[in-house]
Amino acid sequence: MVTVDFESKEHVNMPVMEYLERNADLYGEEVALVELNPAEPDGRRMSWKEYSLIESNAFAPYRREITWHVFEEKANRCANLLLSRGIRKGDKVAILMYNCLEWLPIYFGILKSGAIAVPFNFRYDAEEIRYCAELAEVDVIIFGPEFIGRLETNAERLSQGRLLIYVGDGCPSFAESYHLLVADCSSSRPEVGPITDEDDGAIYFSSGTTGFPKAILHKHRSLTQAAQMEQKHHLTSRTDCFLCIPPLYHTGAKFHWMGSLVAGSKAVLLKGTKPEIILDAVSREKCTIVWLLVPWAQDIVDALDRGELKLEDYELSQWRLMHIGAQPVPPSLIRRWKEYFPCHDYDTNYGLSESTGPGCVHLGLGNISKVGAIGVPGYRWECKIIDEHGEEVPRGEVGELCVKGPGVMTCYYNDKSATDEVLRDGWLLTGDMAMQDEDGFYFLVDRKKDVIVSGGENIYPVQIEDFLHKYDKVKDVAVIGLPDRRLGEISAAIVEIKEGMECTEAEIEKFCLSLPRYKRPKKIIFDPVPRNATGKIEKPALRKRYGSDRLVEKENQS
Residues 116-151 have pLDDT tens digits of 999 998 888 888 899 999 999 999 999 999 999 999
**Mean pLDDT of all residues in 327-344:** 87
Tell whether 366 and 388 lie within a shared domain.
Answer: no
> 355 with 396, same domain?
no
Q: Which residue type, as a one-letter code, is found at position 305?
A: D
403 with 361: CB under 8 angstroms? yes
Positive or negative, the CA dihedral 299, 300, 301, 305 is positive
Considering the domain architecture, whether residues 50 and 19 belong to the same structural domain is answered as: yes
Nearest to 34 by CA among 98, 95, 97, 100: 100
Highest mean pLDDT among 97-111, 329-343, 424-438: 97-111
- Residue 331 confidence (pLDDT): 83
pLDDT exceeding 70 applies to what percent of the chain? 88
Calculate mean pLDDT across residues 492-500: 91
Q: How confident is the model at residue 28 (pLDDT cuts 50, 70, 90)?
A: very high
Find the CATH number of the domain harbouring 420.
2.30.38.10
Number of H helices, E strands in the chain: 18, 28
Q: What is the pLDDT of residues 154-186, one digit of tens each?
A: 888 898 889 999 999 999 999 999 999 999 999
CB count, 10 Å around CB of 176? 14
Give the integer Cα–Cα distance in Å for 363 and 370.
Answer: 8
Please check whether residues 231 and 298 belong to one and the same domain: yes
Residue 331, phi then psi, degrees to nearest 5: -55, -35
pLDDT grade for 325, boundaries at 50, 70 and 90: confident
What is the structure's pLDDT at 432? 86
Q: Is 502 helix (H, G, I), strand (E, B) or coil?
A: coil
51 has a pLDDT exceeding 80: no
Residue 5 clears pLDDT 60, i.e. is over it: no
For residues 465 and 352, state if they share a domain.
no
User: What digits encode the pLDDT tens for the residues 197-230?
Assistant: 999 999 999 865 445 789 999 999 999 999 999 9
Same domain? For 352 and 433 the reply is no
pLDDT at residue 487 tops 90: no
Which of 80-94, 155-169, 325-339, 470-484 holds the top average pLDDT?
A: 80-94
Q: What is the pLDDT of residue 272?
A: 86
Looking up residue 344, the CATH number of its domain turns out to be 3.40.50.12780
Q: What is the mean pLDDT of residues 440-464?
A: 78
- Pick from 40-49, 253-262, 347-356: least confident: 40-49
Residue 533 pLDDT: 64
Q: Record the pTM.
A: 0.81
- Cβ burial, residue 501 (10 Å; 0-12/13-18/19+): exposed
Q: Give the DSSP H/E element, type plus range, for residue 214.
A: none
Asked if 34 and 124 sit in the same domain, the reply is yes
Whether 10 and 120 map to the same domain: the answer is yes
- The gap from C-alpha 99 to its chain's centroid, in whole angstroms, comes to 13
Chosen domain end from 412, 446, 480? 446
End-to-end CA distance of the chain: 27
Residue 287 has a pLDDT of: 97
pLDDT at 18 over 90: yes
**What is the largest distance, in Å, between two alpha-carbon atoms of the chain?**
70
**Cα 153 to Cα 298: distance, rounded to the nearest angstrom:** 38
* Mean per-residue pLDDT, 409-436: 93
Q: Does the pLDDT of residue 46 top 70, yes or no?
A: no
Structural domain including 544 reads: 455-557
pLDDT at res. 93: 98
**Residue 478 β-bridge partners:** 494
Q: How many CA atoms lie within 13 A of 60 on its CB side?
A: 27
Lowest mean pLDDT among 116-120, 144-148, 429-433, 442-446: 442-446
- 249, 304: one domain: yes
405 and 282 fall within a common domain? no
**pLDDT at residue 556 is higher than 90:** no
Higher pLDDT, 552 or 381: 381
Query: What's the whole-number average pLDDT of the chain?
Result: 87
Q: What is the dihedral of CA 152, 155, 156, 162, to 10 degrees?
A: -170
Length, in residues, of the chain: 558
Domain boundary among 385, 420, 446: 446
Q: What is the side-by-side strand order in the sheet with 289-292?
A: 63-67, 31-36, 266-270, 241-244, 289-292, 321-325, 345-352, 357-362, 376-377
Amino acid at 504: T
Q: Are the C-beta atoms of residues 276 and 303 closer than 8 Å to each other?
A: yes
> In the prediction, which pLDDT does 210 show?
47
Nearest CA to 349 out of 330, 362, 331, 366 is that of 362
536 pLDDT band, cuts 50/70/90, is confident
Q: Which of 312, 345, 370 lies at the terminal end of a domain, its last residue?
A: 370
Please enumerate in sequence order all residues whose Cβ is within 8 A of that of 55, keeping only pairs 6 or more positions apart, or say none.
none
| One domain for residues 254 and 390 | no
Q: What is the DSSP string of 383-447?
A: EEEE-TTSPBPPTTS-EEEEEESTTS-SEETT-HHHHHHHEETTEEEEEEEEEE-TTS-EEEEEE
> pLDDT grade, residue 450 (50/70/90)?
confident
pLDDT at 248 over 80: yes
Predicted confidence at residue 283, as pLDDT, reads: 94
Of 320-324, 407-411, 527-531, 547-551, least confident by mean pLDDT is 547-551
CA neighbor of 427 nearest in space, from 444, 452, 408, 446:
408
Q: How many structural domains does the chain have?
A: 3
Per DSSP, the three-state class of 527 is coil
pLDDT band at 461 (very low <50, low <70, confident <90, very high): confident
For residues 363 and 476, membership in a common domain is answered with no
